Structure formats: C-alpha cells, structure tokens
Homo-oligomer: A and B are copies of this chain.
Amino acid sequence: MARRAPRPAGATLPAPGGPRRIPDAAVARLGTYHRVLTDALAAGSCTVSSEQLAGLAGVNASQVRKDLSYLGPTGTLGVGYDVEHLLGRIGVELGLTRHWPVVIVGAGNLGRALANYRGLAARGFVVAGLVDADPTKVGRTVGGLAVEPLEALEGLIAERRVRIGVIATPASAAQEVADRLVAAGVRAILNFAPAPVGVPPGVSVRKVDLALELQVLSYHQVRATTRTRGDGTHPRRAAAPALRPDPRGAGR
C-alpha cells in the first residue's frame, strides 16, 4: 500500500514531496525487465512470476519484487505479474512510451557504430542527428543519416527537440562539446570519452568507459593468478531458466 510512502521527516534534501524516487540501480534493472518482458510477450507469455523474471534478467527474485514495488502494486497475489500491464507500467515510469530524439557528437568509429545500432530504435531512441568537426566526415551517410557539420549542432537540437546527447569525440573535446550541448538545451548526456565532464545542476550525465571495464577484468585476472585458485568473488547465476511460453503450470 502506501503508494506515496510516509517519508520519515528529517530527510536532508531529497525533495520532500516527491512521489517516489527510484534509485538509479533499480531504474537500470527496470530497463532490463522491460526488455526481457518484451521478449516474453512475443513468446506468448501472459504472466510471469518474480522468480521467472529474475531468471530471465539474471538477478535475485527478491530484487525483482523490490524493484517492481517502486511502481506501486503491479502484480496479482498468487498469480504473478501480467506481462502486458507490467510492460506498460515500466514504460510509463521510464519514459519509454515516447520517442526520444538523440544527437551523437563525433562520427568516428564509435559514433558510427552507435548510429548503426538498431538496439537504440528498439528502445525508443531515435538518432536525430550525427555531427562531426571534421569536414571530410561531413556528408557521409551512416545508418541512413547524413553526418552534419558541428556548426549545425545548436540548430539541430532546437529544431528537433533533442534532450539527450551522446559524446563520442576524443577526450580532449568532451568538456567543450558538453558545454555546447547543455547551452543548446540538452538535459542528459551519455559520455563515452574517458574524461570527466562537468555540467550544471539539473543535467544528468552518465559515463561509459570501456578501457576501465577491461582494467577491472585485468585486476581480477591478476588476483586469480596470484592466489592459487579463483575464489568465489563472482557468484554469478548458475543457469538461466529457459523462456517458457506458458508461464504457469511449472508443477514446482
């Protein structure tokens, strides 16, 4: 119950009247649920239990229920969750019911790969623009989209109502690009350049650093070889239960 939870007074700053704030980690998992539920629906499932959903998403079942509880009561006791309803619920909360125009800055290896990535459109993100500072790159067509000059950035953002920007330039240009994006009205930035970018409050930034991921793996390797055997540092799920068309009837 308690759709809007009773806030124990004394919270520092977390917007006292907020309906319900969902932690980033949970939001990310909700996105995963949305994807696997889409598959499940296509496969003919009408309802799923938290246990099944957990298996598909590769997380704990308690985690699933906790995450979904942020959306309010969405399941049916004794039955599970209605796939279609749950999809709609998550979609509304995450803003996946509308299309988000995205601008990609930098038409290099990564920028072009992103522009070609069909997984974006599938989640409601449409690449509304792809710009590059290099004149020799301008005019090239990638993924059905023509590369536009860097000067077109501001006009493009305003005209196409772009709110999300992707930085795929060298690190040295990241901050400058971010500043221009924000000045032009972008409110959320996904940064692939290995450089921290500062933005004014109210603008969200997320960073993806590939080399960093590999370095963490490298560290694990060093640890594993130093110590005789790999310890149980990574208790990843053992096996994924297959997607089952009929969600019920799993005799136990």
Q: A210-B117, A215-B31 are in contact. Are A198 and B237 (CB under 8 A)?
A: yes
CB neighbors of B among A197-221 (8 A): 198-199, 201-206, 208-221
Q: A196-B240, A198-B238, A216-B24 are in contact. Are A208 and B208 (CB under 8 A)?
A: yes
Q: Are A95 and B201 in contact (CB under 8 A)?
A: no
Q: Which residues of B contact A206 (CB under 8 A)?
A: 213, 216-217
Q: Are A15 and B203 in contact (CB under 8 A)?
A: no
**Is A137 located at the chain interface by the 8 A CB criterion?**
no
Q: Are B94 and A219 in contact (CB under 8 A)?
A: yes
Q: How many identical subunits does the complex contain? A: 2
CB neighbors of B among A90-118 (8 A): 93-96, 100, 102, 109-110, 112-114, 116-117
**Is A13 located at the chain interface by the 8 A CB criterion?**
yes
Q: Which residues of B contact A21 (CB under 8 A)?
A: 223
- Min CB–CB distance A196 → chain B (angstroms): 3
Question: How many of chain A's residues have a CB under 8 angstroms from any CB in B?
Answer: 85
Stretch at the interface among A81-89, A152-160, A225-233: A225-233
Q: Are B112 and A175 in contact (CB under 8 A)?
A: no
Main secondary structure of the interface of A (DSSP, over half): mixed
Chain B residue nearest to A239 in the complex (CB): B198
**Is A252 located at the chain interface by the 8 A CB criterion?**
no
Stretch at the interface among A44-52, A72-80, A128-136, A187-195: A187-195
Q: A218-B164, A221-B164 are in contact. Are A212 and B32 (CB under 8 A)?
A: yes
> 7 shortest A-B CB distances, which residue pairs?
A58-B196, A202-B230, A95-B222, A31-B215, A188-B217, A113-B113, A109-B113
Q: Can you list 24 A-B pairs with a CB-CB distance of less than 8 A?
A: A13-B231, A19-B226, A27-B219, A28-B209, A28-B213, A35-B194, A95-B219, A96-B215, A109-B113, A114-B210, A119-B194, A119-B210, A125-B211, A187-B230, A188-B221, A190-B217, A196-B240, A198-B236, A198-B238, A199-B236, A201-B235, A203-B234, A204-B217, A205-B236
A contact set with B: CB distance below 8 Å: 13-15, 18-19, 21-22, 24, 27-28, 30-32, 34-35, 56-58, 93-96, 100, 102, 109-110, 112-114, 116-117, 119-120, 122-125, 163-164, 175, 187-190, 194, 196, 198-199, 201-206, 208-224, 226-227, 229-240
